[in-house]
Each structure stands twice: as C-alpha cells, then as structure tokens.
Amino acid sequence: VVHLTLHPRDLIMLSPGDSAPDFSLPGLDGTDWGLTAAAGDPLLVAFIETDCPTCRLTIPYLKRLAEALGPNGDRVVAVSQDGGEETKELVEAYDVSFPVLLDVDLDVSRSYDPPSVPALFLVGRGGRIELSEVGFHKGDLNSAAEKMLSSLGLPVLTVAGPDDGAPAMKPGCTSRHLESAVPVSSGEVTVEATTEPSPEPIDLRPERAPAASRVTLADDEGPYEYCMSAGFSPFLPVVPPTVERVDTFLAAIPHPPDRVVGLVPPCYGPATIEKIVANAVMAGCKPEYMEVLIPVIKAACDERFNLHGVQATTHSATPLIILSGSAAARLGFASGAGVFGCVARANSSVGRALQLVMANLGGALPGEIDMSALGNPGRFSYCVAENHEESPWEPLHVELGFGQDESTVTLFAAGGLTEVSEHTARTGAGVLRTIAATLSTVWSWRRCGRVDAVVVLCPEHAATLSSDGFAKSDVRDFLFENTGVPLRAFDHEGTEGTQARDSYEEVLIDGEPHYRKFKDPSQIGIIVAGGTAGKFSAVMGGWLTGAEGSQIVTYPVKW
C-alpha cells in the first residue's frame, strides 16, 4: 500500500468552455496523431484503460458512433493509458476501427486531468470543450453523437438505446495519472491506493466465449446421478446434456454456439448459445422453445433487472417470466386453468431452464450465494403466458408499445403468489377494492413506495371489470388511488415501515387517512391469465423498485 498526496485542484478536470490542450501521440501503427492537425468538425476524445470494465462497456458505443460517421469515423479518438501490447489486445478483441493512441507517459492525461475513466471530451470547431464526462452515461453518448452527426449533416442516431441491456450510467475506474504520486502542496489530502496487480477485467460486452467442456463418463457411471453429483442440478434429476442432444438444438438456432447472449450475475459466467442450450436440454425443453428462452436470458442479464441483487437477496424474489403474444399458443405455453402450476411442458421447462442458467452460469446456489430466508416455489419454475382469448383488453406487449403481431417476454422479480378470492362482488369497483386490500400487504404492510406488484386477473374478474366500463388503465388507476395503509397501523413504533413514514404520501381512502402504497401507477402491472371457472385472481409483490432494486424488463421474442 502506498500513500498518494493530492491537491484538490488535481481532481478537477477540464470542463465545457475550456480550451482543449493540444497534444500529439503515437497510434498503434506508430504514426503520430495531433489534435491541431485534426481541427475542424467536432472531435470526441475518450481516455480509457484496458482493464477497466466500464471502459470496455463504452467501447462498442464509440465504435457504433464511428461507424455512423462513415468517412469521418476517425473523429472518434481513444487515448489509452496503457502500453501497446495491452491496448492492441483490446483493439483486436473489439475490432476497433477508429484511432487509438498511446499515452504511456500519461502527460496528455495530466493535461486533461480526468479523475476517472472512461472520460469523454467533445472538442468543438473552435478548439473548446463542449462536453466533458467521466464514467458511462447513455445520455452523454447520445448528446455527443447528435452534435457530431448533425454538424456533418448526417442523420442523427441514438447510439445508446434504453433497452440494450446496459445501465443508463455506470461509474468508471481511477485514471492512471492519479495512481502515481504527485507533488505535495498546501491543502493536500492523503489517499491510500494499492500497488497490487489488478484482477482480470470483466468484459461487460463480450461477443464470443470458449466452448463448453466435454465430459466422458465411465461405463459404470450413471449420467443422471453424475449430473446431480457434479452440481448441474444438485436437488433434482435432469436430462443429461449429451453432445447429440445439444447438437440437435444448435442445428435449429441461427446463431453460432460461442455467441454470448449475456453475462449471468452474480459470478458473471458467459451465457453462450451452447451453454444456454445445455441447460435447456437438462430442463426438458424442446428446440423450438429456444426462440423464447434466448430473449429470457437477455432480459435476465439486463442490468436494469439487477439479477445480481435478486440472486443474492434474503428476500424470496425470483424472475417471473410473462410471455405475451402469438408465440405462446404457437409453442404450446399454457395461459388458462392452472397457469401457475405444472400444466404445460413449455412453461415448466423454460422456467426451469432459466433457473438452471442462473445457478450453473450465475453461480447462485442455495445456501451459498443464494441466501433467501424462505425461498420460493418459483425458483423451480416461474413462467406464465397471458390468456389473450379471455382478456377484454389489449395484451401486455401491445400496452408496452410492441406490434399486435409481435411477442415479448417480460421479467419481474416476484415473490410468492397471494390468491384473492372475490366471488360475491357484482361490480368492478367491488372486485378492485378486495384486490387493493391484498395489494396493501405486499413486501411489508407498513412499507410504502418502493415496491412493484403484478396483479393477475382471472377471466371472470376481467369480464366483470370490462362490463362495468373499466379499461386496463382504469383498473391500474383505481388500484393506485385505493391502495394504502391506514395511519392507525403506524401506532406501533419500531415495526417495519414506520421509520420511513415521513416520506409517505398521506391520502384519504374511503374517508380514512392512509399512506399511499405506491408512488406511481406504473408500479402496478396487470395481466389476464388463468381459467374461466372460479373467481380467483392473484397479487405478487416484487423486490425493491427502481435503480436500487429490480426494474421490470421486456424483450421481443425473435432470433
């Protein structure tokens, strides 16, 4: 451990309006690149490190911008703070075509003075900085792209879309020039840093990964017992993933076996097509189910869903798969009677395959990383389809902006299912008041605001609501306005939820003061599923809502 002495001034990088310091650096091919020589249209300079995960996350977006700039793609420039060999490996791994310069002595890094990397500086025509930012920020990447493309008269492109699996923002790593000692001066602050070598970087956007290992069993070794003893599914037998079975699946998939669909938290094992298939075989899937399972894995690995938190929490939440659209009927997914039970191979095996991927590639085994206090039956399989035939409203995928002919998978970090019996109410409002009473208890009765919920309406309840003129949006608004916890429930100080009551919104429900359960109507998801006999609906509470927890994520069903 070494002590670094820094002056506060050294932690302030160049800002918009400052003049961009001129510099000249060698590229990987040995030719020098100079800022003055490149003057003219806006130029994006990105400082990076080869072992920084956030830098690796940013590079594909810089590559996308450079490609959109066409012949002017060299106006995206990366400045590597590492040596030639490490930088060359990074460039080859990502097939980078824009200029990458070597700032081995870190002189240019000191002149721009970013506290962390990646650091982006958009230099305008007059040589002044128009944008400066550290870390990964989709908004800033899109702003830089808009300015650069519009200045050249090119169509504006969104280089960082909201639903591509990456977070809206991610902090970076300490800039190399701050890892070495700087002169002591007045107003100094002392920071500890380690001189130990950095761990192997996690590549957050790999395109390919090594093939799965092959195991040859002895003649007297049973494949079913081997799969259990090897930990592939230690608590329930699986279908052995033989080479022949896996190859049959791979032949039906229009993607190479080594293509990485995502990294599975919390251990971030690469989910290649081949490894997903192996787990699908073990779960009892048919090859055609991969059309649904692959986007399910994408959704699970989407950082907005936060599978890392879901896998490691002591809460019972686990991914609930909701399939919406024509793919459900075409592939044999159940949506009617007994939909949450073992009623269809498609539901059971796809839900099970996700759980196996989470354990075998994500590494969250029960009692080790998965420390859920009670667990959840859904951790065997949690997969349902919407009952479109019995629903009076537009399906979930259309509600979310997809086309009528499309299909989607939606993942929700759901706890257990709470059944709501309402057989005597004859009005839609009566049905919803009973559901609202159950909704008020999700997560913890007195805890308000920071939890999502999904309401599963049975066809009979949906029909009652529709006949009373309720659209789906009306159902959501009614539940939002009428779900709360009475203030008298907070008389018992020290119980969960009472500590945060100052942040709750007080409203009147049926003339009595309540705290509103949800902050926004969008926290209540609504689907129609289940059989036509019996007026039983259900409520499922989620895990924490928003950036600190798990967000509901939807992906289209397509290859």
392 vs 31, higher pLDDT? 392
The per-residue pLDDT of the chain, averaged, comes to: 89
In a domain, 217, yes or no: no
Report the 10 Å Cβ neighbour count for 86: 14
Answer yes or no: is pLDDT of 264 > 90.
Answer: yes
Lowest mean pLDDT among 161-165, 201-205, 333-337: 201-205
Regarding whether 252 and 169 lie in a shared domain, the answer is no
pLDDT digits 0-9 by tens, 85-96: 989 988 988 889
Predicted pLDDT at 2? 31
Regarding whether 402 and 514 lie in a shared domain, the answer is yes
Average pLDDT over residues 268-284: 96
Model confidence band, residue 498 (pLDDT cutoffs 50, 70, 90): confident
Model confidence band, residue 206 (pLDDT cutoffs 50, 70, 90): low
Query: CA dihedral defined by 205, 543, 345, 243, rounded to 10 degrees?
Result: 30
In a domain, 230, yes or no: yes
Regarding whether 188 and 227 lie in a shared domain, the answer is no
- Cite the DSSP H helix spans in 113-199: 138-151
Answer yes or no: is pLDDT of 222 > 70.
Answer: yes
Of 147, 174, 193, the one marking the end of a domain is 193
Residue 18 to residue 389: CA distance in whole angstroms: 62
How many helices and strands in the chain, by DSSP H and E? 15, 25
Predicted pLDDT at 208? 80
Residue 475 to residue 434: CA distance in whole angstroms: 13
Residues 6+ apart with CB under 8 A from 192: 1, 2, 3, 4
State which of 46-55, 458-467, 538-547 shows the largest mean pLDDT.
458-467
Answer yes or no: is pLDDT of 113 > 80.
Answer: yes
Strands of 100-102's sheet, edge to edge? 100-102, 76-80, 43-48, 119-123, 129-134
Regarding whether 315 and 374 lie in a shared domain, the answer is yes
Predicted pLDDT at 5? 32
Predicted pLDDT at 12? 59
Predicted pLDDT at 204? 53
What single-letter DSSP state applies at residue 454? E
Predicted pLDDT at 279? 97
368 vs 554, higher pLDDT? 554
Domain that holds residue 530: 223-556
Answer yes or no: is pLDDT of 181 > 50.
Answer: no
Predicted pLDDT at 170? 85
Nearest to 175 by CA among 225, 124, 135: 135
Instruction: Give, in order, the Cα–Cα distances in Å from 427 to each of 215, 436, 463, 468, 469.
Output: 61, 14, 10, 7, 10
Model confidence band, residue 102 (pLDDT cutoffs 50, 70, 90): very high
Cis amide bond preceding 118, omega within 30: yes
Of 147, 173, 193, the one marking the end of a domain is 193
Model confidence band, residue 548 (pLDDT cutoffs 50, 70, 90): low
pLDDT digits 0-9 by tens, 148-166: 999 999 999 899 987 677 7
| CATH code at position 178 | 3.40.30.10
Regarding whether 420 and 464 lie in a shared domain, the answer is yes
Regarding whether 466 and 346 lie in a shared domain, the answer is yes
Beta-ladder partners of 3: 192
In a domain, 523, yes or no: yes
Regarding whether 167 and 72 lie in a shared domain, the answer is yes
Regarding whether 285 and 421 lie in a shared domain, the answer is yes
Average pLDDT over residues 309-329: 95
Give the global pTM.
0.71
In a domain, 253, yes or no: yes
Regarding whether 76 and 116 lie in a shared domain, the answer is yes
In a domain, 210, yes or no: no
Predicted pLDDT at 6? 33
In a domain, 354, yes or no: yes
Predicted pLDDT at 546? 67
Regarding whether 105 and 47 lie in a shared domain, the answer is yes
Regarding whether 278 and 182 lie in a shared domain, the answer is no
Average pLDDT over residues 437-459: 93
In a domain, 205, yes or no: no
In a domain, 415, yes or no: yes
Regarding whether 11 and 90 lie in a shared domain, the answer is yes
Q: How many domains does the chain have?
A: 2
Predicted pLDDT at 168? 81
pLDDT digits 0-9 by tens, 8-50: 334 457 889 999 999 999 999 889 999 987 778 899 999 999 8
